[in-house]
């Protein structure tokens, strides 16, 4: 199953709820994410975004 959707501002927590629902029906889930219409420095990405994923035990595969 492949899904593509736009997440409204302030509703990212919905991804967790949706993933949890799929967890009971599949052994593996992968999410591809992209962001637009904003800016983040390479250092800011490393300091905040990647650190948040690491703290959650999520491996990030960069293209």
Q: Mean pLDDT across the chain, nearest whole number?
A: 83
| Mean pLDDT of the 2-16 span | 84
Dihedral of CA atoms 36, 44, 30, 16 in degrees, nearest 10, equals: -90
pLDDT of residue 59: 85
pLDDT of residue 31: 82
Which DSSP string do the residues of the chain spell out, in sequence order? Answer: ------PPTT-THHHHHHHHHHHTT-S---------SS---HHHIIIIIIHHHHHTTPPP---
pLDDT of residue 63: 66
| Mean pLDDT of the 44-48 span | 82
Q: What angle do CA 44, 57, 2 make, to 5 degrees?
A: 90
């Amino acid at each position: 199953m492949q899904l593509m959707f736009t997440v409204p501002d302030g509703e990212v927590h919905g991804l967790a709820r949706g993933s949890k629902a799929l967890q009971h029906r599949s052994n593996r889930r992968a999410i591809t994410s992209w962001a637009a219409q904003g800016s983040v420095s390479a250092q800011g990405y490393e300091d905040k975004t990647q650190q948040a994923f690491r703290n959650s035990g999520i491996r990030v595969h960069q293209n």
